Structure formats: C-alpha cells, structure tokens
Amino acid sequence: MAERALAVPRVSALPYLLSAPGLILYAVCLVAPLAMTALLSFYTFTMATGISTSMSLANYAEILADDYFHTIFARTFGMALAVTLISVLIGTPEAWILHRMNRRWRAAFLLVILGPLLIPVVVRTLGWALFLGRNGIVNRTLTELGLVTTPIEFMYTFTGMVVALTHVLCPFLVLAVWANLQRMDPATEAAALSLGASRTRAVLRVVLPQIMPGVLSGCLIVFTLAASAFATPAIIGGRRLKVAATATYDEFLNSQNWPLGAAIAVLLLVSILTIVLVWNRAVERRFAASFQG
Amino acid sequence: MTTRNGWLAILFHTLFVGFIVAPLLMVVWVAFTPEGYLALPLTRFSLRWFIAILDSDFIPAFWNSLLLGVMSATLSLALSVPAAVAVVRHRFPGRDAIAAFFLAPLMVPHLIIGVSMLRFVSVMGFGGSWITLTASHVLIIFPFAFRLALAALVGFERPVEWAAISLGADTRTVWRRVTLPIIMPGLAGGWILAFLQSFDELTMTIFMATPGTTTLPVRMYQYLSDNIDPLIASVSAALIIFSVAVMALIERLWGLDRLLSGKGR
C-alpha cells in the first residue's frame, strides 16, 4: 500500500474502497432521510385521513402566511442573534485574558471554561432552572427576605432562554478564539508596542485583526447551534415560547402533522445554510482583500 | 511569564468564570439536600437523593447510553480510519469532495437529522431499534472521529514505514506494528470525543428513542418536562462528577483544548 502511494499517481480503486463504508452510511442515514423529509414537506395532512401523498406547497404557504409561525421564526433567529452577540462580547475578551495568564492559571481556567462542553446540555440547563425558576433558589431567598412579593419570572421568558443558551454555547466561541490566539505570533504585539503604540491601539489594530478569523468562525458555530437548539429552549421556554426546533418537535410527536413539521425543519435548515454560505462568502471576500495569502 | 492582566480584566474574568460555574455548582449543592423538595442545604447534608437514583429508571437509561456510546464510537472509528487513510494518503478524483462530505453532519442540525431518521425509519418500516439508533449516532459522531483520524495521519512520519518496508515487513505488518501504534493516541482521542458526543446527544435521539432504547439524556428531558425535584438534581450532579473525571483524564492524556479543537496530539 505504501509503495503504491509512492509511485506515479494512477487512479486506483483503493481509496474509493476505503471510503466506501463511510459513504454508504452517509447515503443511507443522511442523504436518503433528508430527501424523504424534503419530499414529506410537500405532502398534505388532515386530521381525518392522516398523511396523503398528493403534492402541494400548502405547508409552506401556511407557514409563510401565518403570524404564529412568523413569531416562531423571528424568535428563533432573534434568540440565535442575541446569544451570538453576547457570546462574542464576553467570550472574545475572556479568551484574550486567558491568553495573557501565566501557564498554570491558564491551564486551570481553560479546564473550567471548556470543561462544561463535556457535560450534557440538559444538566447545564437544569442549573438555570434551579437557580432562577419560580420556586428556584433566587426567588425563594428573595421572597423569604421580603425583598419581592411576586417571584421574578425567568422561566418561560425570552431573556431566560438567551441567558441559559449563552451559558451553553459561549465556550465554543472561547475555544475558537483561543485556538486562533495560539497560532498568533506574539512578536507582532511586542513590535507594535515597541514602535510606540498604546496597549489599546496594539490590541485593536494588531491583535484583533489577527484573531478575527477565530472570532468569525466561533460566531458561526454559536449561531448555527443556537438557531437549531432544542433542549434549552424546550426546558426554559416550554410550550409558551416556541422556537423552530420545539415547534418541529411538537408537530412531529404531539400533533402528528408530520408534513407541516417537515416543512418547518426544511425552512430552518435552508435558512441556516443560507446564512452560513453568505457569511462564509462575506468573510472570504473581506479577508482576501486584507490579507493576501 | 507572570500574568499581565489588569484588575479590570481580573474582575471580568471572575464574573465570567462565575457565570459558567455557578449553575453547575448550584445543581451539585441542591443534590445534597435532605428535604423532599428543592432546597439549598445549609446545615444538614444528605446522600438520600443519590441513593434514590439506584432504584430509579435512570439506571437502565444510563446503561443504554453507555452501550450506545461505546458501540457507536467504536463503529465510527472503524469506518472513519479507512476513510481518513484514503483522504490523507491518496490522490484521486473527488478526494476533496469526499473529505468535505464526511464533515457534512456538522453543518446539518441534529434536529433535522432526527426528524429525517424518524421519517426514514417509518417509511422503511424498521420501527425503533438499536440498529437504526446506533447507525444515526455513528453518523453524527463520524465527523469528530474522522477529524481526529485525519490529524493523526497528517502528522505521521512516512519514513518510519519505509524503514519497516526496507527491513522486509509486509504491508499488514507495517500497519499493525508501526502505523497503528503511532496513530493510536490520536485515534483514542477521537474515540473519547465521539463517545461523549453520543452519550450527551438529546436532540436527534429524542425522535428515535423507544421505551426500550431510552437514553439517559432523553429520560432526563422527559422527567424534567414533568417536574423538577431533587432526584433530577442528584442525577445531574452524578453526571457532572462523571464528566469532571473524564475531563481530568482527557486533560492528562491529550489536553482538553487540543482535543476539542480537533488537533489530536
């Protein structure tokens, strides 16, 4: 095998055979199911007869016309945007602070901040429910101390979803920026300082442009995960504050209107992929202009 | 090199770490309550809610998750290593497309994969089973195993293999005695990461789990949507403790930040 790879390149079947098991899995578990779901979204559903295979755009028309769904999609992307913005604003400085720590502190705090990524999302969200629920610790303490008469509402609020989801996803942004800072040449900052730049100026003009790719890719990860998040919005937002993911879940497993659920899922996927493509295109153009090569 | 952060940075850092850690500490603290309701124990601590886990249906769910995680991580590794070998060591038409395709599940939300698998399973008439559940888990963790396998193979020094070949080793011996031992740490990192992804997965699994294949996150979610009581807190606390142990292991063997950013060793 090794000898053959060294020889003059000749198209052999070997690499295809090696990737075949993976490709078959992908064809069966990804491509075929996605195609079936796309097809399903054009089917029609009635309470009396269930799913019928006559094709129409009725599901999409319903979603695009109904205020109920407008609210759900606006809430989904509003939430994703808010989570992304907060994550950037707190995660980027935090990565920078970690970068400037001495080795031992840095190792310890990296563990503390990235470690939660290994803990199930349900557990991390439960922390917020315990903390700030109607019967949660904060409300009970405040009521017992007589500081408030009615509990502060956090569960089933938009703010609650954004805070809890930021807690879940922000470590991804720190990780992306941190990985980028690792690759940065520390001499560039030193050079800016020795040439008389103030520290703020050195950070803004020398460090920030270099870590921009990390910040932007971190944003994309956080945004796409937030827009399709299920567990946190389901636990904190509940039935009252539906997002696209929880609405899809309800259509599939409660209302049994699979075609409508499939249409919501397809719209969510298409919007996320469009945003990813546009974002990548914009980032590439931006960086092609500022960094040649 | 000492710290160069000013007091403002230290203050910000303290608040940030508090934000990350506080909800988790809260869960662990509440889990030690001796009361029958959610309360912060201040003077009396009890293990009663940890003991209560043993009689609950979280235990079978835990075994389901463990089994599913081990099976799908092992399978994803078995499928992704040959694929990574093809991509790293061969030049062939469609190579870049295949490499990109293998990372595609990272771009498709788990919710969509869950919905699609539910539809697929119902059209094909498979019903809920371990086979379809495992296959879907292998799919979503494949990119993680694949990325770590790529990293292990890219950093590989080919001359070591050539030395073995020139000393008369055949292809199989080279693979078994030289290549595999060298890339093993990277592959093991991929396995751990893949296992954790599977063990924690809720969004896709919730569409596929049947009463016989309920995983721990699914059971916890179902329980949470009914009520929040000290039992769910103690289960969560136990998982946090489990995760911290895994985290310590990962940090020691690979470095958590390196493993999470797909760099292997």
Closest CA–CA distance from residue A75 to any residue of chain B (Å): 17
pLDDT at A188: 86
- In 3D space, the residue among B227, B236, B228 whose CA is nearest the CA of residue B28 turns out to be B236
pTM score of the predicted model: 0.90
- Is residue A82 one of the residues assigned to a domain? yes
Interacting residues of A198 by C-beta distance below 8 A, sequence separation 6+: none
pLDDT at A290: 60
Mean pLDDT score of chain B, rounded to an integer?
A: 91
Identify the weakest region by mean pLDDT among A268-272, B74-78, B126-130, B236-240.
B126-130
Confidence of residue B25 (pLDDT cuts 50, 70, 90): very high
Count Cβ atoms below 10 Å from residue B141 Cβ, excluding itself.
28
User: Do the Cβ atoms of B116 and A124 come within 8 Å?
Assistant: no
Residue A48 has pLDDT above 60, yes or no: yes
CA dist A194 to A96, A199, A204, B116, Å?
A: 20, 10, 16, 58
Q: Tell me: the pLDDT tens digits for A252-276?
A: 999 899 999 999 999 999 999 999 9
- Is residue A39 one of the residues assigned to a domain? no
> Is A273 in the B-facing interface, judged by CB distances under 8 Å?
yes
Q: Which domain holds residue A147?
A: 69-244
- In 3D space, the residue among B247, B197, B209 whose CA is nearest the CA of residue B57 turns out to be B209
Interface of B with A in 212-241 (CB under 8 A): 216-217, 220-221, 224-225, 228, 232-233, 236, 239-240
Confidence of residue B261 (pLDDT cuts 50, 70, 90): confident
Interface of B with A in 7-66 (CB under 8 A): 9, 12-13, 16-17, 19-24, 26-27, 30, 37-40
pLDDT at B1: 40
Count of domains observed in chain A? 1
User: Do the Cβ atoms of A22 and B102 come within 8 Å?
Assistant: yes
CATH of the domain at A133: 1.10.3720.10
User: Do the Cβ atoms of A265 and B113 come within 8 Å?
Assistant: no
User: Do the Cβ atoms of B200 and A273 come within 8 Å?
Assistant: no
Across the range A206-210, mean pLDDT stands at: 88
User: Do the Cβ atoms of A28 and B135 come within 8 Å?
Assistant: yes
Chain B interface mutation, best of A86, A110, A118, A183, highest count of B Cβ atoms under 10 Å: A118
pLDDT at B155: 80
pLDDT at B242: 93
- Is residue A56 one of the residues assigned to a domain? no
Across the range B19-23, mean pLDDT stands at: 94
Across the range A115-134, mean pLDDT stands at: 89
Nearest CA in chain B to A91: B16
This complex has an ipTM of 0.90
- Which domains are delineated in chain B? 57-228+243-260 (1.10.3720.10)
pLDDT at B2: 45
Residue A81 has pLDDT above 90, yes or no: yes
CB contacts of A117 in chain B (<8 Å) are 260
Higher pLDDT, residue B126 or A31: A31
Across the range B34-50, mean pLDDT stands at: 86
Please name the member of A15, A28, A130 whose beta carbon is closest to the beta carbon of B233.
A130
